[in-house]
Amino acid sequence: MDVMIKAIDVNKEYRRAGAIIRALADVNLEIKSGEFVIIQGPTGCGKSTLLNVLSGLDIPDSGKIIFDGENIARATEDRLARLRRMKIGFVFQDFNLIRTLTALENVESVLWPTVLRTSEIEDRAIAALRDVNLLERKDHFPVQMSGGEKQKCGLARAIIHRPRVILADEPTGNLDPESEKEIMDLLKEINKDSETTVIVVTHREKLTSYGDKIVKMKDGKIQSVK
Amino acid sequence: MRKGILIILREKRTFMIFTVIYSLLIFLTSLFLEFAFSGQFGDLALYLVLIFMFASLILSLLYAWLLVSRNKRNWATFKCIGYTNGNVITMLAGIILFTAFLGFFVVVEILFHYAAIFSYVFPDNVAANNTLISLLPTVLTSVTFMLVQLISIALIYRKTLKIRPIVALKKVEA
């Protein structure tokens, strides 16, 4: 398998209330194409920061992030935005759906800035909603959906552009156990069917059973990779 | 730009309030510009035109500020899913220009109806000047209003650049 993302000697510090917090300390990590990776650790251990730097949402203080062969640690904002649009799908803990758009429009919104025709964007959005078993709710607004349905919509939005990597930050953090299982099963299915690399950040120990690779973090450092 | 319009059309309250305010301001500015052209009310007409123009500038800036600040998380989410600053600014510019254009359209519609009702009620005076405000002040006012919107767009350009996509990942407090 090809290397999809490689973090080399990555460091990241934050200044909070005058104190310096070392969020990432000499992190080295290699994620291969098609892997299902779980980054697990207690709150504040730096796992979300790692996800942010891996996706180009945050810039490391030092070190390199090689994403699909390209060092993104010093890329411009517009370059990173295009990279995210083409290669990364995001799943958020709080769903981050636009409340004034229907489920279908929320999913379509990823492709609005592209040159694709409206009919093709709609076809793709419908296919993505079908993949996550949410097609019957396509005309519903977020406020009319349950937490699990909102997250499925978020998942459809993350896969509509057929990304190479899906990054999920605590994707089941706001869900009941039944919806949690459904979302994790869907992520696993997407990972297997399309060989999309999936990286899930979670503090829940029990979700580690879904991963091919388990990265355990503590105090900004990687404790173990299994 | 079309999608920005779709989003603001669903934000019914903000959109309606600002469309009505813009319509009112365009109407009053055009009316007093008409008076200024015809020499009625002396310098007062001109002063009022300037006051209304200044009010439109302030309101446009407020509208632009509200659009960006109140929906910061949405714009950050758009950036997170791959929108460039240019994409976000285009959406916002579409919203701002559309609202101002709709204000102009409402005023023109009101003036048409006024002329139509006037002609209907006083059919003998149709040949006389039955327009409340003539075309030139209305168009001049609308063009000025559109230019004022460009200042708002410049403001949102700066504000949009400052929105970091990472804001979308911040947890919402329960």
Residues of B in contact with A83 (CB under 8 A): 82
What does DSSP assign to residue B173? P
A86 pLDDT band, cuts 50/70/90, is very high
Q: B1 to chain A nearest CA, in Å?
A: 10
In angstroms, rounded to a whole number, what is the distance separating the alpha carbons of residues B37 and A16? 61
User: In this predicted structure, what is the pLDDT of residue A85?
Assistant: 92
Give the mean pLDDT of chain B.
Answer: 84
CB contact under 8 A, B83 and A94: no
In angstroms, rounded to a whole number, what is the distance separating the alpha carbons of residues B16 and B34? 27
Q: What is the pLDDT of residues A169-181, one digit of tens each?
A: 999 988 899 999 9
SS3 helix, strand, coil % of chain B, rounded to 5?
A: 85, 0, 15
Q: B15 to chain A nearest CA, in Å?
A: 13
pTM (predicted TM-score) = 0.87
Q: Using 50 as the pLDDT threshold, list the residues of chain B that sit under it.
A: 174
Whether the CB of A153 is below 8 Å from some CB of chain B: the reply is no
Whether the CB of B158 is below 8 Å from some CB of chain A: the reply is no
Q: What is the pLDDT of residues A1-53, one digit of tens each?
A: 689 999 999 999 988 778 888 899 999 999 999 999 999 998 888 998 999 99
**DSSP bridge pairs for A32:** A3
Per the structure block, which two tokens stand in for A78?
């517009």
A3-98+162-225: which CATH topology?
Rossmann fold (3.40.50)
User: In this predicted structure, what is the pLDDT of residue A153?
Assistant: 96
Q: B64 to chain A nearest CA, in Å?
A: 18
